[in-house]
Amino acid sequence: MSSAAQMLTVRVPLVIHKRGGRKMVLAPNGVPWASPHVPRINSTLVKAVARAFRWRRLLESGRYGTINEMAAAERMPESYICRLLRLTLLAPNIVEAILDGRQEEGLTLPRLMQPIPAVWADQRRACAT
């Protein structure tokens, strides 16, 4: 028997898609080839949420008296700090989902930087894709 007769070739059509600087393999039907139980942690979102809660803690503790003072110390624009601080008003389950990598696929930082509803139930609807 020749070595060619023992070889088996399997061809699987797939697409490699770049998302957030990472490469993702997509099956022929467009579904990602990854276990649905594997969290996809968005480090940009996690960092933003952590930074927002840190800044809130610094304001509440009295370390900074105003957002202007904090902006100068952190070397960040005041408007950015104000928009990021709104993340501390997110529903707890949304924050938990972001930290665990279970957030909705379309939930991005630019989307969260837009005005969000104050009522948690409305936030959940707005954050769902």
pLDDT digits (tens, 9 = 90+) for 67-107: 999 999 999 999 999 999 999 999 999 999 999 888 988 89
In a domain, 78, yes or no: yes
* Mean pLDDT of all residues belonging to the chain: 85
**Location of structure tokens 């969290």:** 39
pLDDT at 31: 63
**Bigger pLDDT: 23 or 85?**
85
Residue 4 lies in a domain: no
- Please check whether residue 104 lies inside any domain of the structure: yes
Residue 21 falls inside a structural domain: no
Whole-angstrom Cα distance, residue 17 to residue 44? 19
Confirm if 24 and 30 have CB atoms less than 8 A apart: no
Residue 7 lies in a domain: no
Structurally, the chain folds into a number of domains equal to 1
| Residue 34: inside a domain | no
Residue 40 has pLDDT above 60, yes or no: yes
Asked whether residue 52 is assigned to any structural domain, the reply reads yes
29 lies in a domain?
Answer: no
Q: Domain of residue 92: give its range.
A: 39-127
